[in-house]
Amino acid sequence: MDNTMLEHQKWRPERNPGQTSGRKARQDRPGLRKRGGGWLAIAAACASLLFLSPASAQTETAPAAEPAPATTGGAAAQSYHSATIFTLKTGIAEGRMVYIGVGGDINGQVNPTLMVHEGELVQINLINGEGAEHDVVIDQYAARSSIVVDKNASSTFSFTASKVGEFSYFCSIAGHREAGMEGLIRVMPGQREAMSSDAADVVRDPADLPGPVGQRGPKVVKVDLETVELVGKLDDGTTYTYWTFNSKVPGPFVRVRVGDTVEVHLKNPADSVMAHSVDFHAATGPGGGAHATQTDPGDETVVTFKALKPGIYVYHCATPSVAHHITSGMYGLILVEPEGGLPQVDREFYVMQGELYTVEPFGTQGEMEMDYDKLISERPEYFLFNGAVGSLTKTHPLYANAGETVRIYFGVGGPNFTSSFHVIGEIFDSVYSMGSVLSPPVQGVQTVTVAPGGATIVDFKIDRGGHYVLVDHALSRAERGLAGYLIVDGPEDDDIMHAGPAEQAAE
C-alpha cells in the first residue's frame, strides 16, 4: 500500500452520483407543502395506526395537521407525531374523585385544563388509578373513551378540535361527575406556534453521507472527530445538553474500503466538561481504539487501525459511564466496503435509533436533564431517530422519486433497546443481515431486528409515489418520538394500491 496516498474525509460531502440532496429534493417537489421549517405530510391511513395502542404517560404538543398535497386526493393528512396528547389517571384527591394529569405540563394537576388549538388532532389517554369504573366524555365533540374497570386498565380516543371555546370533559358513570370528576378543555383560535429556541439543530440530515468508495486500491483515510457538548433542540420548546461527534446525532458517516488504514484524530475542545473517546466496532484491537483515545478537555489523540473486514459497524464513545455518553448522542456508523463496493442504488440514507433518559416526563417543555437511575434501570422517556423528536418528520424527512432504488444504512446507538426497523408500506428487497456484506442478502423482508450496537443495510425499489413512515415496530415508541417520513414524488400507481374495490374486468 502506498502510504503517501491520504484521503481526508470531510463532513459536508458531495452525495452519491445521481443522488439529490435533501435541500434540492425539497426544491424539486412543488406538490409538497412547506410547514414550520420543514416538509410535513403523510397519508391519513398511516395516521390511524397511531391509535392502536394507548400512549404512555405524557403530554405531547405537536403542530396540527395540514391539508394533504394534491397527490393525496384531498384526504386529510396526519402523522405519528401530529397529535396533542394528554394522559389522565383517575384517583382520589382533596377528598373527592378526580382526574390527575400525568406527564408534561399537566403532571400532578387535579382535573387539569387541557389547552389545545383549533384544528389540532387531540388524543386523550385514560388510566384507571384506583379500580372503580370510569370513563371520559366530551359531549360537544361526541368523543368518549371506553369504560375502564380494573386498576391500571386504560383506554385512548381522539378527535379533531374543530370548535373554538371552552368545553367540559367528565366521567359519565352515575354520580362521578358530581363527585368531582370534571375538567375543562380549552380550544384556542388559530394554529399553535412552535416555541422559539436558540438551541442548536443536532439532527444529522439522513442524506448527509459520503458517496461510494468504488473501484480503488487501499489507502490511508484520515477521519477528524470533534467531541462537542452543546445544548440542542430535543422537541418544540424542549432542549437537552447533547454530547456529540461533530455537533450532530449521529456522528459523521465514515466510509472506507476493506484494506484501508484508518487514521482517527479525536479532538476534545477545552470548554468541554467531560473526557471522551471513540470505540470503532470495525477495528480489531483493544477497546476498538478507546484505549488510545481517552481524551481530556483541551487535548487531541490519534489512533490508527486497519479495516480488515467489510461490513456496516457502529462506533461510539467508550468513556465511563459508557451508557451515559452513548445516550447523550455519541454514536455513529462506519461502512467498510468490500472490494468493488456495494451494488449501485439511486439514493442512500443514514438513520440511527437511540434513547434518552430524562428526569422530566416525555413532552415536558424546557431544559431536560439526564436521569442516571432511569438510564441504568432502562426506563427511557424518549425514543429517537437521529437525535430528536420530529427529526425525520418535521425537519429532515427522506426524499425520493417513484421508480428509484433506495438504500438505508440503519444502526442502533441505544444504549439499551433493540429495534424492529420497518418502513410502513414497503418491503425490503434486500437486507444485509446483522450488517454483513460478505453473506448474500436476505430478500423480501418486512421488518429487521437490530440490536443495540448493531447495524444493517436495507435496499428497496419504490414502485409507487406517496408517503411512507419509518418506525420501530414496537409501535408504542412512536408516541415517544420515534417516527420518520420517506416522501416519494411520482405517480400513485392504482394497479399497485388504490382505495375501493378491485376493478372488474369487462366480460
Nearest to 466 by CA among 31, 1, 25, 2: 31
CA 82 to CA 159: how far, in whole Å?
A: 12
Q: For residue 286, what are the contacts with CB-CB under 8 A and spacing of at least 6?
A: none
Nearest to 19 by CA among 254, 204, 206: 206
**By the 8 A CB rule, do 111 and 183 touch?**
yes
CA 105 to CA 88: how far, in whole Å?
A: 12
Give the per-residue SS3 of 74-125: CCECCCCCCEEEEEEEEEEECCEEEEEEECHHHCCCECCCEEEECCCEEEEE
CA 482 to CA 81: how far, in whole Å?
A: 9
CA 198 to CA 191: how far, in whole Å?
A: 22
Report whether 195 belongs to an annotated binding site: no
Report whether 396 belongs to an annotated binding site: no
Helices and strands of the chain, counted as H and E runs = 4, 32
**By the 8 A CB rule, do 469 and 80 touch?**
yes
Report whether 316 belongs to an annotated binding site: yes
How is residue 284 written as a grid cell?
480489531
**By the 8 A CB rule, do 162 and 118 touch?**
yes
Residue 422 three-state SS: strand
Distance of CA 506 to the CA centre of its chain: 47
Q: For residue 149, what are the contacts with CB-CB under 8 A and spacing of at least 6?
A: 128, 131, 133
Q: For residue 175, what are the contacts with CB-CB under 8 A and spacing of at least 6?
A: none
Report whether 276 belongs to an annotated binding site: yes
Instruction: Find cell 435509533 and name the residue.
Output: 353
**By the 8 A CB rule, do 358 and 369 touch?**
yes
Report whether 330 belongs to an annotated binding site: yes
CA 240 to CA 262: how far, in whole Å?
A: 32
Report whether 171 belongs to an annotated binding site: no
Please give the angle made by the CA atoms of 114, 116 and 118, to the nearest 5 degrees. 145
If one counts every other C-beta atom within 10 angstroms of the C-beta of residue 274, the result is: 17
Sign of CA dihedral 25, 315, 477, 162: negative
**By the 8 A CB rule, do 478 and 451 touch?**
no
Cis peptide before 21 (omega within 30 of 0): no
CA 506 to CA 122: how far, in whole Å?
A: 46
Report whether 46 belongs to an annotated binding site: no
Going by the annotation, the residues of the binding site for Cu cation are 276, 281, 316-317, 325, 330, 473
Going by the annotation, the residues of the binding site are 276, 281, 316-317, 325, 330, 473
